[in-house]
């Protein structure tokens, strides 16, 4: 079997940590020495196209991390097959809509993961999202919970587990105010903690461990 490596992170609900998950998964994968391309699908980049049309600039740009590269869906369409074959993983950060373009991107992925928060309304929404992914003929890697509040959500997560069964992933990303702080500092959470010298014994590291666990779970499916 060909190695699965084009991974979509999608939920048509907004603000459920799609982008946060892409950033921290990319960081986890580069730590393991994988070469990662992050594809921002949330922008049309009309001005970039306008000013850069005809320029020979590579559609793929380097980042502060030697193994992480960035592009947008628009520019990705100009990446040659030879070039994208040099990546171990390609992560697609999808927008919170179910447009025809989003369907095209989903069909391009080998596997799609769905982040969700826990709430009564999310269950019916998730059914629609997972049905839509299936309809596009793409493998659903799983649904994972983000912004989990241990004190409020213990009961509802069991309901999600009962309904989603093995489609609900084991990794659960806790709510943590350090996410916003790290994003303000322009860093993935683990890089932020390391830069600030936060000891690994501190409970705030829980979220880093959760993203580590999610990275491993996804790599398990994709190996
Ligand atoms: N585990 C977390 N704990 C606390 N806050 C979080 C967590 N994950 C994400 N956030 C915050 O939630 C907000 C939404 O996150 P993010 O932008 O990643 O969601 P999204 O699904 O990509 O949103 P959109 O649908 O608009 O693209 C951000 O302000 C982010 O900092
Ligand atoms: Mg986003």
Residue 207 CA, closest ligand 1 atom number: 1
**What is the tens place of the pLDDT at every residue in 49-75?**
777 777 767 789 999 999 999 999 988
Mean pLDDT, the chain, integer: 92
For the cut 70, the answer to whether the pLDDT of residue 1 exceeds it is: no
Determine contact, residues 112/106, Cβ cutoff 8 Å: yes
> 16 CB under 6 A from ligand 1?
yes
34-38, 77-81, 181-185: least confidently modelled range: 77-81
> 184 CB under 6 A from ligand 1?
no
pTM: 0.95
Q: What is the pLDDT of residue 120?
A: 86
> 36 CB under 6 A from ligand 1?
no
Determine contact, residues 106/136, Cβ cutoff 8 Å: yes
Which structural domains are found in the chain, ordered by start? 6-222 (3.40.50.300)
**What is the tens place of the pLDDT at every residue in 13-28?**
999 999 999 999 999 9
**What is the tens place of the pLDDT at every residue in 115-152?**
999 998 898 899 999 999 999 999 999 999 999 999 99
Q: What is the pLDDT of residue 2?
A: 52
**What is the tens place of the pLDDT at every residue in 171-180?**
999 999 999 9
The CA distances from residue 196 to 16, 121, 190, 205, in Å, are 26, 38, 10, 12
Q: What is the DSSP letter of 67?
A: T
Q: What is the pLDDT of residue 56?
A: 63
**Type and span of the H or E element at 139:** strand 139-148
Residue 157: φ, ψ to 5°: -65, -30
Q: What is the pLDDT of residue 222?
A: 60
Instruction: Compare 48 and 99 and report the one with higher pLDDT.
Output: 99
The protein residues having their C-beta less than 5 angstroms from ligand 2 (an ion) are 18-19
In this prediction, what percent of the chain has a pLDDT beyond 90? 80
- Measuring CA to CA, which residue among 192, 171, 179 is closest to residue 17? 179
Classify burial at 27, counting beta carbons within 10 Å of its beta carbon; exposed 0-12, middle 13-18, buried 19 or more.
Answer: buried
Determine contact, residues 133/106, Cβ cutoff 8 Å: yes
> 149 CB under 6 A from ligand 1?
no
In this structure, the number of other CB atoms found within 10 A of the CB of residue 196 comes to 12
């Amino acid at each position: 079997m060909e190695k699965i490596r084009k991974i979509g992170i999608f939920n048509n609900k907004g603000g459920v940590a799609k982008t946060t998950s892409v950033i921290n998964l990319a960081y986890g994968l580069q730590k393991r020495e994988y070469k990662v391309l992050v594809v921002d699908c949330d922008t049309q980049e009309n001005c970039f196209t306008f000013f850069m049309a005809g320029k020979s600039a590579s559609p793929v740009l380097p980042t502060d991390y030697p193994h992480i590269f960035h592009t947008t869906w628009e520019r990705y369409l100009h990446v040659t097959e030879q070039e994208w074959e040099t990546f171990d993983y390609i992560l697609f950060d999808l927008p919170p809509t179910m447009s025809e373009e989003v369907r095209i991107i989903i069909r391009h992925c080998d596997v799609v993961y769905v982040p969700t928060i826990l709430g009564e309304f999310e269950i019916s929404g998730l059914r629609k999202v997972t049905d839509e992914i299936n309809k596009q003929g793409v493998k659903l890697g799983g649904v994972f919970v983000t912004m989990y509040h241990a004190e409020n959500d213990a009961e509802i997560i069991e309901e999600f587990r009962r309904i989603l069964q093995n489609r609900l992933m084991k990794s659960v990303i806790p709510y943590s105010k350090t996410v916003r702080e790290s994003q303000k500092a322009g860093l993935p959470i683990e890089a932020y903690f390391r830069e600030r010298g936060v000891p690994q014994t501190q409970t705030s590291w829980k979220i880093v461990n959760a993203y580590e666990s999610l990275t491993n779970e996804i790599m398990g499916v994709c190996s």
